[in-house]
Amino acid sequence: MKKSWLIELIFWLHLPIVIIWFGTFLIPLSVFPGRITFHFWFMAIVLLSQIVWGMMLYPKTKSFEMICPLTTPMQYLRGYEIKDKRNYNHSFIAELLDRFNIKMSFNAVNILLWVTFAIVIIQYLS
List, for residues 33-45, the tens digit of each pLDDT value.
Answer: 999 999 999 999 9
Among candidates 82, 78, 85, 84, which has minimal Cα distance to 69? 82
Residue 3 lies in a domain: no
Residue 84 lies in a domain: yes
Average pLDDT for 102-124: 96
Residue ranges making up the domain that contains 88: 32-125
The DSSP result for 36-58, as a single string, is HHHHHHHHHHHHHHHHHHHHHHH
Residue 119 lies in a domain: yes
| pLDDT at residue 2, rounded to an integer | 65
Residue 6 lies in a domain: no
Provide the pLDDT confidence category of residue 119 given band limits of 50, 70 and 90. very high
Residue 85 lies in a domain: yes
| pLDDT at residue 89, rounded to an integer | 87
List, for residues 85-107, the tens digit of each pLDDT value.
Answer: 888 889 999 999 999 999 999 89
CA–CA gap between residue 57 and residue 19 (Å, rounded):
27
Whether the CB-CB separation of 14 and 90 falls below 8 Å is answered with no
Provide the number of structural domains found in the chain.
1
List, for residues 75-90, the tens digit of each pLDDT value.
Answer: 999 999 998 988 888 9
**pTM, whole model, 2 decimals?**
0.91
